[in-house]
Amino acid sequence: MAAKISLAIGLRTLFTVLGLLMLAVFLYTAFTDGLGVRFLKELVRPWMVATLVCFYINIVAFAVWIAYKESNLISSILWIVLIALLGSIFTSAYIVVQFLKLSSQESSQDPMYYVLLRHPNKNGTAPQRQRSSVVTLRIIFSILGVVMLGTLVYTLVTNGSPFRKGVLTPWLATTLVDIYFHIVIYAVWVAYKESSWISAVFWIILLICFSSMATCLYITWQLFQISCQDPAYLVLVHHGDRQASI
């Protein structure tokens, strides 16, 4: 029990720190490099475009999760827009809010389970409207993974290696920091889901190396681990909790 409570506090602290660090990085870049014409010019550079594609593909999974979690459409849209604009600042904030909503009993039982699932699931009642098409989500994340691969290959062929002088601009570096903060969040989820540490480490390494391509691959793989008739939210929890979540 004490270990679970410590886990909840630790994760809440981790995501708070991530959000504050990203805010500091964003403000530093905004003050030192500006948000004017120079910023707009950076946005159309090939590797910046590729990085933004990676960033927004990572955001899609969070958007789907938030749309599932939030019972209020306006609240859902607001959070998704904020995350789309300011990335892990608000992704971290949203997760911290979910941890703060946990009761002491939930924190002592399985904080990750209760944070990931929508409130009605906590009482063992599955919301019928959330029985979304597993096949549709498989297709969406498969396509997103292919889009990211195509973007990467195209940018490499047409613009050359990103590892050369002049490519890593301040805003590109800031976007990369944001992407890797999102990877930390995904890594926590993967570590929670995987029963084997070897499997967890393998997937986390893929996330670090291939970012949104690995994210899409992992989510698609998890979607293939459940039946087409199952509610899609079952991919959020590890195998042992799936039966209790239906």
Mean pLDDT of 41-70: 94
Closest CA to 64 of 27, 22, 118, 120: 118
Q: Is 50 exceeded by the pLDDT of residue 128? A: no
**pLDDT reported for residue 162:** 87
Mean pLDDT of 25-45: 86
CB 236 within 8 A of CB 117: yes
pLDDT band at 123 (very low <50, low <70, confident <90, very high): very low
Q: Is 80 exceeded by the pLDDT of residue 62? A: yes
Q: What are the residues whose beta carbons fall under 8 Å from the beta carbon of 192, sequence distance 6 or more?
A: 112, 238
Contacts of 20-28 with C-beta under 8 Å, sequence gap 24+, read 21/181, 22/87, 22/88, 22/89, 22/92, 22/177, 22/178, 22/181, 23/89, 25/174, 25/177, 25/178, 26/86, 26/89, 26/174
The amino acid sitting at 160 is G
pLDDT band at 141 (very low <50, low <70, confident <90, very high): very high
Mean pLDDT of 56-62: 96
CB 231 within 8 A of CB 130: yes
The token pair that represents 152 in the structure block: 């990467």
**pLDDT reported for residue 2:** 76
pLDDT tens figures, 156-189:
999 988 888 888 899 999 999 999 999 999 999 9
Q: What are phi and psi of 163, to 5 degrees?
A: -90, 60
The amino acid sitting at 32 is T
Q: Is 50 exceeded by the pLDDT of residue 124? A: no
The amino acid sitting at 153 is V
Residues of the chain by 3-state class (helix, strand, coil), percent to 5: 80, 0, 20
207 vs 133, residue with greater confidence: 207
CB 245 within 8 A of CB 237: yes
Axis-axis angle for helices 212-223, 46-69 (nearest 10)? 30
**pLDDT reported for residue 239:** 67
Q: CA–CA separation, 16 vs 198, rounded Å?
A: 28
131 vs 194, residue with greater confidence: 194
**pLDDT reported for residue 129:** 44
pLDDT band at 11 (very low <50, low <70, confident <90, very high): very high
Q: CA–CA separation, 70 vs 73, rounded Å?
A: 7
- The rounded mean pLDDT for the chain is 89
pTM of the model: 0.90
Domain residues of the chain, as ranges?
A: 2-119+133-245
**pLDDT reported for residue 216:** 97
Q: Is 70 exceeded by the pLDDT of residue 121? A: no
Return the percentage of the chain with pLDDT > 90, whole number: 71
